[in-house]
Amino acid sequence: MIQCEGLVKIYKAADLEVFALQGLDMNVEAGELMAIIGNSGSGKSTLLNMLGGLDRPTAGSLTVNGKNMLKMSERDLVSYKRESVGFVWQNNARNLIPYLTALENVELPILLQGRRKRMRALELLEAVGLTHRKNNKLHQLSGGEQQRVAIAIALANEPKLLLADEPTGSLDSRMADQVLDLFRELNRTIGITIVIVTHDPLLAKKVDRVVAIRDGKISSEMLRRKSYAEELEELERGIAAEEEDSHVEYAILDKAGRLQVPAAYLESIGVKDSNKVKLELADGKILLTSPGAPKKSVDPDNSEEAS
């Protein structure tokens, strides 16, 4: 569904150039439910905007659902945004029109497509569990209900890709849990590809893959040891889930073999104010040490590392 290779985005302000993305590589399979996490300024929202056609890359390659996002005309880009992708934002003011009812909000994008609106809108509200609130306006809905209406709107044009930017950021933990469960249910039932940008740790427990971005590149991926469906099945059978060990984290090598090492790791081996490290291969392991650290050797008797 999504292929990013060497993706670069540079923002220019006056005489300054800010690199939001610095050669990012990422693939997302069709029908996948995955999350992107990262600190503020890491480039995750920039990536989401480019996937949705709201912004164009400066360089690199970006293909979404077979479409080359760098070569699309403005007219094609408008069609892509209307027909191929749905958005859910953290701020409900970007999702909903306050003076319309929940039903009318969902009907609006369907009307723009020239389709029969009432039946389709009711089906979507039923899918997000809000048929009983169809005649309520924005101020009459809770935060979680507003976000569920927003998801129904995002699905109105039957997109292949659903993008959500901090969709649970303004919700309490109970409401956030309900919204995340809804994403998983929609992914399972209709097979839509869903990419969620978040800082919410709850999300990592509900998706099978979490991609971490640091300084404009993919730094690591967390993959489930067992699928979420398998864990739910075990819970139904009374087997307790091991939440702390649900995912395994892998560092990501780019195509040139470069690796981002967390700052905390470097500090722990004494690399703080230097940009140099010693790299050694010993007993099938790559050792990363401070330039001033004693050389490691391998004990031939037990093949264990020794100083």
In the chain, residues under CATH classification 3.40.50.300 are 2-223
Which amino acid makes up residue 43? G
* Cβ-contact 206, 180 below 8 angstroms: yes
Comparing 28 with 307, which gets the higher pLDDT? 28
215 or 68, greater pLDDT: 68
Nearest to 19 by CA among 46, 49, 56: 46
- Most confident range (mean pLDDT) of 157-161, 230-234, 261-265 is 157-161
Q: Would you say residue 76 has pLDDT above 80?
A: yes
* Four-residue CA torsion sign, 182, 184, 190, 195: positive
At 304, the pLDDT band (50, 70, 90 cuts) reads very low
Q: Which of 89-93, 101-105, 236-240 is least confident?
A: 236-240
- C-alpha distances (whole Å) from 46 to each of 99, 184, 244 are 31, 24, 30
pLDDT of residue 235: 62
Q: Distance (Å, rounded) from C-alpha 177 to C-alpha 247?
A: 19
d(CA 182, CA 144): 11
Fold that domain 2-223 belongs to in CATH: Rossmann fold (3.40.50)
Q: Where are the alpha helices (DSSP H) in the chain?
A: 44-51, 74-83, 92-95, 102-112, 117-127, 143-154, 173-190, 201-204, 228-236, 263-268
**What is the pTM (predicted TM-score) of this model?**
0.80
